[in-house]
Structure 1
């Protein structure tokens, strides 16, 4: 018995690691490509790109773990069934509940990993990612020092540099400021320099002109200058995030948010309570997914054509549970008093697993009763009145 458990658990763990690696790579690369385009447009280095993508990795793993656990359980159970290993185990007297023990242990291991992610690693990575992104957004110099491209470091601002010399001189600079509702000012200069003054960046433009267009009366005012200083620090005030994400806080704060957290997030306490209960329910998802994948394939009698029908049932059950989870999440997020709805998909999942294992222990329910043929009638009974 113990050898069977170790063998089954080993197969599940190996396949789980393989599918997790594949799925994490797919999700991570997909997000990394989008992030790479954004950072490349802002003129960031490869080191910044690598740092930000590493911060997104814990959340990607969190999303992938339930899927990997389900796929691993289905794949291993299907293979052991087609190779008649589970049939031999049943022939020795092992019930479906007994054979589900290694799957249960496997699900608990993934649950522990999921708990570490949702309670510690994911909130920490979200905080670090938000802070690092805010630093990058506030670094106007890095976003503006890109030649040959029209950049938008802030809303209503358009900036263009034809060439940047090795000495840091900006040649042929164009800056359009359309943040005001009544006016628009375009600055053009043959040379410019980005300097630090009083801890804030300043753009010093040399030998240029400023064209101010007044939208109300349609007048255009042109001013030429030998040198002009533009306050780039004003762009830094408009950049950055305006509020903190609720998902960045630790679990204890989610269940007892103080006024500072409410002000920083500008959210109601119901949003904190929802996220806190969600972190308790989420670690159980891999366990439910793995048990459904196993128990669904155990229902029915052995068939040489495989268990494709059972695999389809397992996939449908997972999709239905996910749809229920999405629906209950929207309701619980809007009303704090309905937080028990978050645990409804988990309870339904356990009920489904128990029902499937109960059906798997009664294969006679799925066997067809053969019909009696005329040749099976006992001799001498023909013509007897009924």
Structure 2
């Protein structure tokens, strides 16, 4: 077996190890982040009277954006873990002794970073916008669903502040039985309505609750006077109990990149700023390129540190701090692009700076004698 065959086999071995650990860390991180968000989402949806199927649907639609958050972290963690294990087992030392340079050893890591970048590209340019658009539509539908918001049998609900609603039973024909409505939105007057039956009526102007055979009680806090009136039928407008965001304007974050590029002139004519359009488009490409840098930073930092019987915790901390510094600068670069669309190129600055750092580390690992000579010369 030739030297080239051995190197190719090592490339496949290293790439397979990286992909396996990448899948493991991705699952763990997604589970951790998902549990944190699912608790809040569950309380909000179930508290509004939604079913478990709606909760599951919202969870699935939120997964693509969640994956884009954990993807660079999983890429970095997989690279650190695999490189550290290869160092401890002296596999990198053996490959270096066969004549493989640090640049050559970094090739499978670079391919791994490209695979992660392709995943990020598919998510950022297509899946995340599509899921976000669907999620926005479902939120509007749920906000318009009165049955889910205020019609729950045997439960006192407060759709909005100052209003309490209760119904003992909802018939199969839609009739509400034993209805109680307390309206405290006006501080000077408190109203309580009770009715044997009630019906929901929708029209062009809104939605009304028609109560039949009931009693209206009005309390005036100033004089502590209570007045009552029986009624045969009474209309209570509940349009105010609906959320005001019945319609949601389509946002550029919910559009695919192809549409952003194709309909750029139309979006600008509709009022979308050029800076917002440039930031949204180029940030998606910048996220993909950053995945490649994330993988190479972890590998190059541990490769420069070499083998140590005391471990490589110092190199791991350095790699993490480098990644944290580069990733932290990305959030500060959006404002200049929003103000001036011609500055779109600065969104790629973290990836470019990271690539320069990786190049310097790999060059240093390829010329260890030059570094020692320079240090002796300075001394």
Establish whether TM, by shorter chain, passes 0.5: yes
Does residue 362 (structure 1) correspond to residue 373 (structure 2)? The answer is no
Distance 2:244 2:41 in 1: 21
SS in 1 for 2:264: coil
SS in 2 for 1:134: helix
Q: TM-score, normalised by structure 1?
A: 0.85
Does residue 225 (structure 1) correspond to residue 207 (structure 2)? The answer is no
Distance 2:226 2:249 in 1: 39
Structure-2 change in CA distance of 1:190 and 1:334 (3 Å): same
- 293, 296, 301: which one aligns with 1:296: 301
Does residue 124 (structure 1) correspond to residue 123 (structure 2)? The answer is no
Task: Give, in angstroms, the shift of residue 27 of structure 1.
Answer: 1.2
Does the CA-based 8 Å contact 1:177-1:185 persist in structure 2?
A: yes
Query: How many pairs were matched up?
Result: 364
- 307, 312, 315: which one aligns with 2:320: 315
| Equivalent residues in 2 for 1:1-386, closer than 5 Å | 1-147=7-153, 149-154=155-160, 156=161, 158-161=163-166, 163-164=168-169, 168-176=175-183, 178=185, 186-198=191-203, 201-206=207-212, 207-209=214-216, 211=218, 223-233=229-239, 235-236=241-242, 238-240=244-246, 242-255=248-261, 256-258=263-265, 263=270, 267-364=272-369
Q: Which has the larger radius of gyration?
A: 1
Q: TM-score, normalised by structure 2?
A: 0.86
Distance 1:240 1:17 in 2: 40
Distance 1:219 1:249 in 2: 57
Structure-2 change in CA distance of 1:327 and 1:318 (3 Å): same
Does the CA-based 8 Å contact 2:140-2:248 persist in structure 1?
A: no
Of 236-245 and 111-120, deviating more is 236-245
Does the CA-based 8 Å contact 1:103-1:290 persist in structure 2?
A: yes
Distance 1:27 1:62 in 2: 12
Distance 1:251 1:276 in 2: 6
Does the CA-based 8 Å contact 1:301-1:363 persist in structure 2?
A: no
SS in 2 for 1:344: helix
RMSD of aligned alpha carbons: 3.0
Distance 2:228 2:77 in 1: 68
Q: Deviations over 1:222-258 (max 9, x none)?
A: 6542321223345447243553333101214434535
Q: Name structure 2 gaps, 5 residues minimum.
A: 1-6
Of 72-81 and 283-292, deviating more is 283-292
Distance 1:257 1:248 in 2: 14
